[in-house]
Structure 1
C-alpha cells in the first residue's frame, strides 16, 4: 500500500483554521465595519447542537447569519458556539468546523465551500476542494425554494406561529 499526500484534506483543515481565526477575532473584538457572515452547516452532523424545532425545520442544512445581533460567541479548536435570534427567540447553537459547508463574508466577496468527497467514487473531473466558493443559487425573497436549494431563515410566520427565515440572494453581492 502506497502512501500519498492528502492535499484536499490538508486544504480543508487550513480553511477551517482560517474560519476559527476569523471567529476568534470577532469574539475578541466584534465584527469590524460592514463584515458579516453567512454560514451554512450540516444540521445532521453528530456534534452539531441546535434546538429540536430548528433541526426539524432544517433536517439537512441551515444557513445562519452573523451580523447585527449575536451573543455568547465562544470559539474552540473543534467548533464554535453562538446564540442567534430566530423570530425574537434567542437560540444557542454549537457548530463544529467540520459541519460547515460554506462560509461567506459578502462585504468583501470572500467565500469558502467545503466539498464532500466520496472515497468510493473519485471523479477526475471533481471540483477542486480548495477552489473559491461558487455558492448555490438562493431564490429572491418571496419565492418558494426547491428541495435542493439552500435554506435560510425569514420574517414570515408559518401556521404554528414560528417565524420562517428571510431568503437572501447572494447574487446581489457578486460582481
Structure 2
C-alpha cells in the first residue's frame, strides 16, 4: 500500500497507460487512420487476462499482438480492452487489462511505451515506467500474432529516437 498520494512514478504510469486507452478508443471509433498500427505486448499470466488455454500454453509469459489489417470486435472499457484476432487461422477473442500491457508501439508514428511489470503498486497494480534508454532491461521480443502470413519479430530499439 502506498502512503504517499504524490507517488509521481505511479501517477506517470497511470497517465501513460491512459495513452494506450485513448489510442485504442480512437481505433474503436474511427478505425486506424492511415498507416497507423499497434504492437501490444502483454503478460499472459496477469490476473484478468483472458486467452484460450492452448494459446496461453504457447505463450505462458508474454504475447505480442498486432492490430493492423485483420482484427475485429475491438472494445475498450475503463480498465481493459478486448479484440478478436486470428492465430493460425483460428479465431480468438482476447481480453487484456491495461495493467497487463508491457509494451505499446505504433511503428508508423515512431512511438512506443514500455512498462515495467516488476514495479507493481498494491493499490492499483500500476508499476513504474522503465527507462526507455536502458538497453540491459530490453525484453526479448515475442513474435507478433494475428492476421495472416508470417509475423515479424520487432525490437523496440528500432522505434527509439536517439
Normalising by structure 2, report the TM-score: 0.79
Structure-2 residue corresponding to 1:143:
none
Say yes or no: does 1:168 pair with 2:159: no
Say yes or no: does 1:49 pair with 2:50: yes
Q: Kindly name which structure, 1 or 2, has the bigger radius of gyration based on alpha carbons.
A: 1
Structure-1 residue corresponding to 2:124:
none
Q: CA-atom RMSD, angstroms?
A: 2.9
Greater RCO (Cα-Cα under 8 Å, separation 6 or more): 2
Structure-2 residue corresponding to 1:129:
129
Structure-2 residue corresponding to 1:76:
77
Matched ranges for 1:74-153 at <5 A: 74-115=75-116, 116-117=118-119, 129=129, 131-132=131-132, 149-153=140-144
Structure 2, unmatched stretches of 5+, are 122-127
Distance 1:13 1:95 in 2: 16
Secondary structure at 1:46 match in 2? coil
Instruction: Please give the per-residue CA displacement for 1:88-147, whole angstroms capped at 9, x wherever unaligned.
Output: 21110001000000000011110011113278xxxxxxxx7265476876xxxxxxxxxx
Structure 1, unmatched stretches of 5+, are 120-127, 138-147, 156-162
Distance 2:120 2:21 in 1: 25
Structure-2 residue corresponding to 1:22:
23
Distance 2:145 2:67 in 1: 14
Q: Give the count of matched residue pairs.
A: 149
Instruction: Please give the per-residue CA displacement for 1:13-33, whole angstroms capped at 9, x wherever unaligned.
Output: 111111111111100110000
Q: CA, structure 1 residues 16+118, in 2 after alignment: closer, same or farther (shift >3 Å)?
A: closer
What is the CA distance between 1:77 and its match in structure 2?
0.5
